[in-house]
């Protein structure tokens, strides 16, 4: 709430709220698709991935924004990569130490945050040209926008693919209580293809609601 | 803009890169060192879970990542593991738990000089010896643990894999029915190691002996599981059979089984110094241990076949009774 | 045989796009025409072929526990070493190609800077590290398979998109939406390869 109030004072409403939906990094800017698809079979890894990326993005945005006037132009990309890679390594170490099962489920996709286009995209497009505070908001906004899409996709995939939510049996119980006999998992939702189609449908829905986003 | 000129000079770029590298290196080393113990604990815990999973059916409960450490302590596993070589002799000086199964193999065959880890889980008085398995799967390495009961039968298995096809080959890990099928299969036929093969339903076992049906649609991965068990156990066979002693060693005790706690086995004449009575652990149908020969518990386990390999020895031991 | 096995698997079963979702950003952004898609696909294959073996050797002789100095485990640095290597190689390749093969630079050059941050390249290295290959031959095979798989995928979708531009698609689905769904359908088709078994 604090952030939102401060933001309103600064008259930059779009920086934080924009990326949440109307300028969402995944479905509108088309950035960071790789991990959005790969880690969404279960909700817990998806949530952890969303949080990890938000942290990395917010920190990287602030660091690059602080350094923006000192970075030598020629090694700009490398400096960005090094900062991001260092942050990702720290996140990876923390995940391995505290949520081991999730870090196994995420496997190499944590490392792939480094090349997640959201990061390079936001660093290049925003952090290099803005002060640290707006950069922080931009990082948080885009990170949460990304996490949101991950979360929606993972919810659908876990609910129908395994009949559970966060590992708790939901669908089978519901079906049983309704007087029918059990729920057969829809294996399709656990497969890679389902993620693509779900995100395709999210895009469809969003562009139907916001006609100005549609391709001509 | 005065800074911009400065920023593009070579010296500035090099210094900038150096400072950044040093800073990042310090930061990362600190993070890695600080979290190392916790990560190691997690990895150990996962290994403990896999090891204990192979006796889960005997424990009568599921082994999870969360309860693995407690179960491990409960069973006092830290004191119940040791190393053996491929001749079946105990090897001192290495911690079984720290041995990675991968390094024991060379091109899919167990190395002659390998030191193999053995874990013993004592559940309700019965010692289950857990051995480690490792081999090539269809798409990547597969590994696991197999527990053997005192009669040489499989008490349980746990498998894991790196990249078998989800929904097909991955069932070696995910489908409990596959692991359960191994329980109770004998690894030995008439005293000879015949392993447990994994072949298509209706097909005979590969090495004689017993078999488990392959997973439908994943025959290749299943084949590899069978191969892994065969190859990995080959190194353990002398140990599991109780091993005849090396040349010049125990001649009289031909049927004598090496058992836990017996230190003076090598060159042993009459097991002097051996404190524990032979606990029938390695009792084989064909070669019952002389100490226990004729005793009721021997017959109970070995049936009417409870005869010593060495008739004279057997008589001596009956007399002693 | 193992090489062939790995090669086939990395093209069809563990396809970079359809199974692992690596390099989706450029896959979606550059797949409007077949010509540029093939160009990018070749560039990706090329860079994979160079960086993967180098990263393999770095991993084996520097990063793994006890590889460089007894008792030192540098594996936590693998992300940063891999990406630094990739960025450096891409830079060098770009300079070399520009100087010695101007014709090739004309067709591939514009894609090279994009590639440093292509997930497929770093992803290839990370998956390779996870697979613990026995020797560098596997790493090269894997790189080739991954690259060809990626090229194959982007060429297919570009061809489909060229045709799609004449189709009557609901307005909200045009462009990105339909590309996702078509990719999903292609991924389903590719799933049928997962039963392939080579002796």
Q: What pLDDT score was predicted for residue B150?
A: 83
The residue range of the domain holding B286 is 281-321
In a domain, B28, yes or no: no
Residue B184, Cβ neighbours under 10 Å: how many? 14
**How many domains are contained in chain A?**
1
- The structure tokens listed for B62 are 């599921």
Residue C197 pLDDT: 64
- Distance from C-alpha of C122 to C-alpha of C155, rounded to nearest angstrom: 21
B234 and B292, same domain (yes or no):
no
User: Domain ends where: B223, B244, B265?
Assistant: B244
pLDDT of B269: 38
| Residue C153, pLDDT score | 94
Q: Which residues of B touch A75 (CB under 8 A)?
A: 13, 16-17
User: In this structure, are B298 and B237 located in the same domain?
Assistant: no
Per the domain annotation, does B273 fall within a domain?
no
Query: Are the beta carbons of A30 and C176 separated by less than 8 Å?
Result: yes
User: Rounded mean pLDDT of B109-123?
Assistant: 85
* Total H helices, total E strands in chain A: 10, 2
Give A-chain residues touching C73 at CB under 8 angstroms: none
- Taking an 8 Å cut-off on Cβ atoms, the answer to whether C183 and A31 are in contact is no
* B64 is a domain residue: yes
B65 vs A contacts (CB less than 8 Å): 100-101
CA atoms of C15 and C19, how far apart (whole Å): 5
In a domain, B17, yes or no: no
Say yes or no for a CB contact (<8 Å) between C80 and A34. no
Classify the complex by whether its ipTM is higher than 0.85, answering yes or no.
no
pLDDT at B270: 40
Residue ending a domain, choose from B244, B268, B289: B244
Give chain B's domain count: 2
pLDDT tens column, A26-39? 888 778 787 777 78
Dist. CA B240–CA B257, nearest whole Å: 10
Residue B6 lies in a domain: no
Q: Is residue B114 part of a domain?
A: yes
Task: Judge: C172–A207 Cβ closer than 8 Å, yes or no.
Answer: yes
Nearest Cβ partner for C80 among A38, A85, A208: A85
Q: Do B45 and A82 touch (CB under 8 A)?
A: no
Task: Clarify whether residues B154 and B218 are in a common domain.
Answer: yes
Whether B307 and B215 share a structural domain: no
- Strand B81-85 and strand B115-123: pairing? antiparallel
Q: What is the pLDDT of residue B259?
A: 44
| Residue A2 in domain | no
Find the domain containing A181 and state its range. Answer: 22-213
Alpha-carbon distances, residue B199 vs A55, B212, C46 (angstroms): 50, 7, 42
Give chain A's end-to-end CA distance (angstroms, integer).
38
β-pairing verdict for B105-106 and B81-85: unpaired
Query: Does B39 contact A86 at a Cβ distance shorter than 8 Å?
Result: no
- CB A137, CB A3: distance < 8 Å: yes
> Within an 8 Å CB–CB cutoff, is residue C174 touching chain A?
yes
Q: Is the dihedral of CA B246, B249, B251, B257 positive or negative?
A: negative
CB contact under 8 Å between B24 and C80, yes or no, is yes
Within 100-129 of A, beta carbons closer than 8 Å to C belong to: 107-108, 111-112, 114-117, 120
Task: Report if residue A34 sits inside a domain.
Answer: yes
How do the residues of chain C divide into helix, strand and coil, expressed in percent and rounded to 5?
Answer: 75, 0, 25
Burial of C167 (0-12, 13-18, 19+ CB in 10 A): exposed
Paired strand residues for B146: B131, B157
Answer whether residue B159 shows pLDDT above 70.
Answer: yes
C172 and A204 in contact by Cβ < 8 A?
yes
Q: Report the share of chain B in percent with pLDDT over 70.
A: 72
Tell me which chain C residues have a C-beta less than 8 angstroms from the C-beta of B165.
13, 194-195
Q: Is residue A48 part of a domain?
A: yes
Which of B195, B229, B244 is the endpoint of a domain? B244
CA distance C88 to chain B (A): 14
The H or E element containing residue C52 is helix C34-58
DSSP C131-186: HT-SSHHHHHHHHHHHHHHHHHHHHHHHHHHHHHTTS---GGGTTHHHHHHHHHHH
pLDDT digits over A170-201, tens only?
Answer: 887 888 888 777 777 787 888 888 889 999 99
pLDDT (tens digit per residue) in A99-157: 888 888 787 788 888 888 888 888 888 898 899 999 999 999 999 999 999 999 999 99
Any domain includes A157: yes
Residue B31 lies in a domain: no
Q: Do B234 and B312 fall within a single domain? A: no
Percentage of chain A beyond pLDDT 90 is: 27
Q: At A216, is the pLDDT very low, low, confident or very high (cuts 50, 70, 90)?
A: low
Calculate how close chain B gets to C53, using CA atoms only, in Å. 19
Give me the pLDDT at residue B260, please: 41
Give C199's pLDDT tier (boundaries 50, 70, 90): low
Q: How far, in Å, are B92, B258, B263 from residue B266 at the CA level?
A: 14, 10, 8
Note whether residue B103 is domain-resident. Answer: yes
Residues B154 and B210 in one domain: yes
Instruction: Scan residues 77-136 of C and list those with Cβ closer than 8 Å to A.
Output: 77-80, 82-84, 87, 116-119, 121-123, 126-127, 129-130
Cα–Cα distance between C18 and A196 in angstroms, integer?
9
Nearest-angstrom CA–CA distance, A151 and A165: 11
């Amino acid at each position: 709430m604090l952030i939102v109030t401060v933001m309103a004072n600064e008259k930059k409403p779009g920086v934080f709220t924009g990326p949440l939906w109307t300028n969402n990094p995944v479905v509108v800017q088309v950035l960071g698709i790789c991990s959005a698809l790969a880690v969404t079979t279960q909700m817990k890894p998806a949530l952890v991935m969303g949080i990890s990326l938000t942290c990395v993005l917010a920190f990287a945005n602030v660091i690059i924004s602080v350094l923006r006037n000192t970075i030598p132009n020629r090694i700009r990309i490398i400096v960005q990569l090094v900062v991001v890679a260092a942050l990702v390594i720290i996140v990876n170490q923390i995940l391995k130490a505290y949520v081991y099962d999730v870090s196994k489920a995420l496997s190499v996709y944590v490392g792939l945050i480094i090349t997640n286009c959201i990061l390079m995209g936001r660093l290049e497009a925003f952090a290099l040209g803005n002060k640290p505070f707006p950069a922080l908001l931009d990082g948080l906004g885009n990170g949460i926008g990304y996490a949101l899409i991950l979360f929606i996709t993972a919810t659908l995939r876990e609910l129908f693919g395994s009949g559970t939510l966060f590992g708790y049996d939901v669908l089978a119980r519901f079906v049983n209580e309704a007087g029918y006999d059990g729920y057969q998992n829809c294996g399709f939702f656990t497969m890679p293809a389902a993620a693509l189609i779900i995100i395709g449908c999210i895009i469809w829905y969003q562009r139907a609601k916001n006609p100005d986003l549609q391709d001509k | 803009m005065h800074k911009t000129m400065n920023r593009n000079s070579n010296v500035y770029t090099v210094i900038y890169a150096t400072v950044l590298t040093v800073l990042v290196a310090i930061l990362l080393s600190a993070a890695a060192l600080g979290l190392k113990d916790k990560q190691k604990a997690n990895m150990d815990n996962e290994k403990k879970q896999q090891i204990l999973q192979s006796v889960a059916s005997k424990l009568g409960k599921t082994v999870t990542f969360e309860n693995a450490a407690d179960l491990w302590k409960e069973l006092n596993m830290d004191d119940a593991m040791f190393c053996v070589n491929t001749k079946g002799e105990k090897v001192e000086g290495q911690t079984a738990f720290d041995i990675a199964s991968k390094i024991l193999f060379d091109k899919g065959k167990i190395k002659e000089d390998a030191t193999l880890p053995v874990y013993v889980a004592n559940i309700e008085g019965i010692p289950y010896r857990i051995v480690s398995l490792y081999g090539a799967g269809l798409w990547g390495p597969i590994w696991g643990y197999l527990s053997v009961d005192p009669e040489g039968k499989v008490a349980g298995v746990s498998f894991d894999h790196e990249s078998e096809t989800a929904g097909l080959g991955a069932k070696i890990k995910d489908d409990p029915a596959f692991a359960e099928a191994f329980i109770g299969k004998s690894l030995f036929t008439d005293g000879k190691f015949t392993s447990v093969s994994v072949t298509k339903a209706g097909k005979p076992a590969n090495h004689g002996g017993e078999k488990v049906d392959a997973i439908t649609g994943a025959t290749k991965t299943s084949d590899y599981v069978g191969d892994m068990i065969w190859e990995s156990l080959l190194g353990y066979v002398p140990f599991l059979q109780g091993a005849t002693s090396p040349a010049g060693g125990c001649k009289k005790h031909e049927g004598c089984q090496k058992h836990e706690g017996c230190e003076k086995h090598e060159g042993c004449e009459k097991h002097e110094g051996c404190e524990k009575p032979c606990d029938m652990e390695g009792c084989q149908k064909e070669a019952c241990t002389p100490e226990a020969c004729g005793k009721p518990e021997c017959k109970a386990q070995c049936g009417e076949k409870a005869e010593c390999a060495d008739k004279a020895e057997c008589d001596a031991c009956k007399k002693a009774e | 045989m193992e090489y062939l096995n790995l090669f086939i698997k990395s093209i069809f079963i563990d396809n970079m796009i359809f199974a692992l979702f690596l390099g989706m950003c450029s896959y979606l952004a550059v797949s409007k025409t077949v010509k540029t898609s093939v160009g990018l696909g070749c560039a990706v294959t090329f860079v994979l072929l160079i960086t993967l073996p180098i990263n393999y050797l770095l991993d084996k002789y520097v990063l793994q526990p006890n590889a460089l100095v007894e008792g030192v485990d540098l594996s936590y640095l693998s992300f940063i070493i891999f990406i630094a290597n990739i960025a450096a190689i891409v830079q060098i390749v770009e300079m070399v190609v520009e100087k010695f093969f101007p014709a090739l630079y004309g067709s591939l050059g514009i894609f090279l800077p994009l590639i440093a941050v292509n997930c497929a390249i770093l992803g290839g290295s990370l998956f390779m590290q996870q697979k613990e290959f026995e020797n560098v031959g596997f790493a090269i095979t894997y790189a080739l398979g991954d690259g060809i798989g990626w090229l194959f995928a982007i060429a297919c979708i570009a061809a489909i998109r060229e045709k799609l531009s004449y189709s009557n698609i609901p307005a909200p689905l045009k462009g990105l939406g339909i590309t996702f769904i078509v990719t999903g359908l292609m991924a389903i088709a590719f799933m049928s390869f997962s039963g392939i078994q080579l002796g």
